[in-house]
Amino acid sequence: MSTSTHTFDVILGVPSDCSGSFAGCQFMPSALRAAGLVEAVGAEDAGNLQVVMADPRRDPETGVVGLDDLLNLSAVVRDGTQELLAAGRTPLLVGGDCTLLIGVAAAIAATHPNAGLLFIDGHLDCFDGHSSPTGEGADMELAVLLGHGAQPLLDFGARTPAFSDDRVVVLGPFDEADAAALGSPDPRQFAPRTRIVGVDELALNPSEHVRSALAALEAAADGFWLHLDLDVLSSDELPAVDYPDPRGLTFDELRSVLRPAFASPHLIGASVAILNPTLDTADGDCANRVVELLAATLPR
Ligand SMILES: [Mn+2]
């Protein structure tokens, strides 16, 4: 296949599942490789980090599931990412789940201290350990990066907040009202300059919203990391996710968001998370669609 691209030069798997019960996301890196990820991205495959979330219990102090495992995982992700960023590489991290961002943010603080974050997700991920219905780290990592949440997770970072709020743009959440009803803190309270474009608004003009997100990041930050939680897609488009919801984007809309972001000269790296291959078809339809999405949106 002559489809290689040069946006990313190395792929690193982070086979985590933050439920601590091996619910399936830990298979995402191997499922995407089987679907042709490495060839489609045209990057070196650096294999998987050695991470495991094996404790499904909520920490009694913080309410966070598998807190010690999550801290260990974050250190491994930080070290692995920092080594690549410090060497001038442009990595694509493949989760796993969104908790990988806690380690990524610590690596960015060390190597690109003024960088920002383009966070594309169907959920706000701004619960804390107590308000989260599940206690899973992937319910709360964005709040942690913005300086709100369980103290051990905040203390893990080299600085709090990991990202200044004017350097964070959130695209695609459809759960703002649901999250608020469940007691999720509104990130505008502790990170008022965070730009949040909900899915309905985003879907009206994805190209224009990503253009303005990239302009805001360029003005406020020196480079940016892109994080893509695949549950920003409607579950009609990509059903193999842990919390399926039809309210998300179409593939066509998401391609419009990703293309300019992947083409930006300010991109320092990216992560993609939340495909559960145990919920996919035997032929890996969803894994194939995710690889096609990347192949269709990376510049070549
Ligand atoms: Mn997420």
Query: What confidence tens digit (pLDDT) does each residue in 65-115 have?
Result: 999 999 999 999 999 999 999 999 999 999 999 999 999 999 999 999 999
Q: Rounded to whole angstroms, how far apart are CA atoms 194 and 206?
A: 18
Domain assignment present for residue 4? The answer is: no
Helix (H, G, I), strand (E, B) or coil at 48: strand
Residues forming a β-bridge with 168: 117
- For the record, the structure tokens of 275 come out as 């495909």
Domain range for 53 is 10-297
Q: How far is the CA of 114 from the centre of ligand 1 (A)?
A: 23
**Residue 181 to residues 42, 130, 132, 137, 173, Cα–Cα distance (Å):** 44, 14, 11, 19, 15
From the CA of 137, how far away is ligand 1's center (Å)? 9
Q: Are 196 and 173 in contact (CB under 8 A)?
A: yes
Tokens of 203: 């879907």
Total structural domains within the chain: 1
pLDDT, position 18: 97
CATH of the domain at 236: 3.40.800.10
The alpha carbon of 97 and the centre of ligand 1 are apart by a number of angstroms equal to 7
Inside any domain, residue 1: no
Ligand 1 mean position to 228 CA, how many Å? 8
CA of 1 to the centre of ligand 1 (A): 32
Question: In which element (H, E) is residue 200 found?
Answer: helix 199-204
Tokens of 136: 């899973």
What distance in angstroms lies between residue 179's CA and the mean position of ligand 1's atoms? 13
8-state DSSP, 143: H
Tokens of 179: 């999250």
Q: Could you say which residues of the chain have pLDDT below 50?
A: 1-4
In a domain, 5, yes or no: no
What is the 7 CA–ligand 1 centroid distance (Å)? 23
Looking at residue 158, its pLDDT comes to 85
Cα of 60 from ligand 1 centre, angstroms:
23
pLDDT at position 6 is 77
Residue 3 placed within a domain: no
User: Residue 91 domain-assigned?
Assistant: yes
| Strand extents, DSSP E, the chain | 10-14, 44-48, 91-95, 116-120, 168-171, 195-197, 224-229, 267-273
Residue 145 belongs to a domain: yes
Q: Say what the pLDDT of residue 5 is.
A: 56
Q: Is 192 contained in some domain?
A: yes
